[in-house]
Amino acid sequence: MRIYSYSEEKGISAVCGDDKEIFVGTSICLGGFDGIHKGHKALFDVAKSRGKWGVLLFDRNIKGNENLTTQTEKIKLIENCGADYVIIAEYSEKFSKRTPVEFVQVLENILKVSHIVCGYDYRFGYMAKGDAKALKELCEKADVTVLEPVMQNDAPIKSTDIRTFIKKGDISLANELLGYNYTVSGKVEKGLGNGRKMGFPTANIAYSEEKLLPADGVYYGKMLGRDAVINIGKNPTFEAEKRTVEVHIPDFSGDLYGENVEVEILEKIRDDIKFDSIDNLIVQINKDIDYVKGRKGNGQNSN
Half-sphere exposure at residue 58, Cβ-oriented, CA atoms within 13 angstroms = 14
State the sign of the Cα–Cα–Cα–Cα dihedral 3, 50, 122, 100.
positive
Contacting residues for 246 by C-beta, under 8 A, at least 6 apart: 191, 195, 202, 203, 204, 205, 230, 231, 232
The total of other beta-carbon atoms located within 10 Å of residue 162's CB is: 23
The total of other beta-carbon atoms located within 10 Å of residue 179's CB is: 16
Q: How far is residue 173's CA from residue 227's CA, in Å, rounded to a whole number?
A: 20
Q: Residues 274, 205, 15, 54: what is their CA dihedral angle, to the nearest 10 degrees?
A: -60
**Which of 73, 189, 246, 264 is an active site residue?**
246
The total of other beta-carbon atoms located within 10 Å of residue 296's CB is: 10
Please tell me the total number of residues recorded for the chain in this structure: 303
**Can you state the angle between helices 171-178 and 159-168, rounded to 10 degrees?**
160
Q: How far is residue 166's CA from residue 281's CA, in Å, rounded to a whole number?
A: 25
The total of other beta-carbon atoms located within 10 Å of residue 198's CB is: 14
Nearest CA among 207, 225, 173 for reference residue 38:
173
Amino acid identity of residue 256, one-letter, is L
Could you confirm whether 66 is annotated as catalytic?
Answer: no
In Å, the largest CA–CA distance within the chain is 71
Alpha helices in 156-254 (DSSP H): 159-168, 171-178, 194-197
Active-site residue numbers?
A: 246
